[in-house]
Chains A and B, each alone.
Chain A
Amino acid sequence: MSRRSEFFRERIPVRDETLRELTNEPVPNHMKRWWFALGGTPAYLFLVMIGTGILLASYYQPGPTTAYQSVRFITEEVAFGWYIRSLHKWSATFMVAGIILHQLRVFFTGAYRRPRELNWMIGMGLLLSTLIGGFTGYSLVYEQLSFWGATVASNVADAIPFLGGFLKKTLLAGDSYNPHTLSRLFVIHAALMPACMVALLFLHIAMVRLHGVSELHFPDDTGAKRYFPFVPDHLFSEIIMGLVLMIVLSTLALVLPASMGPMADPLTTPEVIKPEWYFYVAFRWLKLFPATVAVLSMGCIVFLFLFWPFVDGWIRRRRPGSELSVGIGIVAVLCILGLTVWEALVAH
């Protein structure tokens, strides 16, 4: 053994077998199908978000007099600023889309079932943190949508019984939108949510490792070897996926770069106002019901999905063999799609 490896062996007391065991997680063959390895996409995009986010944060200045100008500066004056900003924005969009697809595949393959219930709940935490990250992200630009989005969101929080007033004040750093609000949103966006997500991602992946991915068998899955090693096989696939994603993101950044709407005007709400596409459902919901009803029902639906694996277990214990859970999933997807399309098609 060389002196150098001797040096590290002594300072990092990990045995060879342990190292091999840590990296050579056997991955079942079905994970070669992209549909099943979707979870890697948001994980990769998260790294892109951190990288581009740190770059953006080196010019961004929170505050109502500075935010809009600093984003304009990034977009129009800094070398490659438009590219970094567009990458950040498109990764956010893809990340939300990737998480939704990943969650759909977990749902419809029943991969959340015993003993993996807790990992589904951790995944819901990741989904919610990403959505909060997305919302606080576009609030930072201080364009019209940023301002009115933050105003509406704080009042959505306010509609929650008991806790609401406190949540609203904490989110806005005061009773209403004020000069400290953007700093608060920036901290949530660039520190709190990324920190939560790093912790949740760690737990999520640790749980996947502890349980192993759920196994599925396909008729064309013949051959004696049912597993392939994580390192290097799966890692290489992920790296290739990552490169393809970078090409797609860069193309989008070129063709549809992040632009800027008119600056926030606290005295005039634009006559037509829409949030990001992933909030269309919630936005339409708010138009359909009075505030408290809308907010409480949304809360209940989120809770139902948070505890879904247990609800599903209960259903399957009461009616063994029924496909009710799949039915509920299909209805939920159709409702979400329907409300999103509805919101996308009309002005008001």
Chain B
Amino acid sequence: MASEPKTPPIETPISQSPDRPAQRDEPSQEVLSAGSTEDPTRRDLLSVALNTGVVLSLGASYGTLAGHAVDYLVPTHSEAKAWLYVAPCRGITLGSQVKYTAPSGAAIAVARVAAEDSAASFIALSSTCPHMGCQVLWEGSKSRFFCPCHNGVFNERGEGTDGPPKGQSLSRYPIRVENGLLFVEVPLTALPRERGHSAQACRQPVPLRRKAAQEAQGAAQPAEGLHATPAGGRSGDESA
């Protein structure tokens, strides 16, 4: 097998050159000190300590470099968020659902779960599936959210009732009620989406209100172009 070289090592001109004697011909440190009177165990201990030290410090140096590389590769910026006005509390009745589009374009389903006008009476559901992050669709006829990726099903309160996310819930945005008005804390930034490119022409038209929300992206007054529409009134999207 190949552990043994099949041919003798090839002499290169370098190893033969007289002014550069080959390394292996030099008597090593070990051989030179072999005859000395030092205690061999002490010397072994010393060399073990020395080698360990070298290995540790090399490890620490390269480890530091690797640490910096990891910091470089994993950016830590937090998302910009803001409290935005959704609707007057009275506008959302028990059992109904209001669809709110955040400046980032994120679809949020706001629903009332109790009678009195306090933050605890409302839920604002994210449309991002807690399983693997796809966008759930509201199926009005079945009063459920459905996730097309792995057949996740959620009830109108966002609780997973079937499929892999069973037992998990759609996450909820923080809610505040002030003077009878409802606010949610939502992300402001979003990935750029296509605008009027040729590819757009091949697809279904973007519903108008979403377009308006897109235009409002990053605008100084996010209140502009924000809409709250009753869930029942959805058009366009559902036929997609």
Contact = CB atoms under 8 A, between A and B. Distances in A.
A13 B13 CA distance: 10
Interface string A251-265: 000000000101101
B29 to A, nearest CB: 31
Contact of B148 (A21, A263, A272): A272
B77 interface: yes
Interface string A261-301: 01101111111110000000001001111110010000000
A31 to B, nearest CB: 20
A21 B2 CA distance: 13
Interface stretch (A94-102, A168-176, A242-250): A168-176
Given A270-B148, A348-B148, A177 B191 contact: yes
Interface stretch (B41-49, B110-118, B177-185, B194-202): B194-202
B87 interface: no
Given A152-B132, A155-B133, A269-B148, A290 B2 contact: no
Contacts of A271: 137, 148, 240
Given A15-B10, A148-B134, A262-B202, A64 B237 contact: no
A179 B189 CA distance: 11
Given A13-B10, A268-B240, A287-B163, A68 B194 contact: yes
B131 interface: yes
A266 B150 contact: no
Interface string B198-215: 111011000000100000
Contact of B73 (A72, A173, A262, A348): A173
B147 interface: yes
Given A15-B10, A269-B135, A210 B2 contact: yes
A184 to B, nearest CB: 8
Nearest to B214: A267
A67 B5 CA distance: 52
Contact of B135 (A69, A262, A267): A267
B199 A266 contact: no
Contacts, number: 109
Interface residues of B, number: 45
Nearest to A21: B6
B111 to A, nearest CB: 20
B191 A152 contact: no
B193 interface: yes
A153 to B, nearest CB: 9
Contacts of B77: 174
A260 B163 CA distance: 30
Contacts of A103: none
Contacts of B190: 266
B106 interface: yes
A43 interface: no
A17 interface: yes
Interface string B79-92: 10000000000000
Given A271-B240, A289-B164, A166 B74 contact: yes
A290 B164 contact: yes
Interface string B140-157: 000000011111000000
B75 A286 contact: no
17 contacts: A13-B12, A64-B191, A68-B194, A68-B199, A152-B134, A152-B149, A174-B77, A176-B133, A262-B202, A263-B197, A268-B135, A269-B136, A273-B148, A286-B164, A289-B164, A290-B165, A348-B151
Interface of A: 13, 15, 17-18, 21, 64-65, 68-69, 72, 148, 151-152, 154-156, 166, 169-170, 173-180, 210, 260, 262-263, 265-273, 283, 286-291, 294, 348
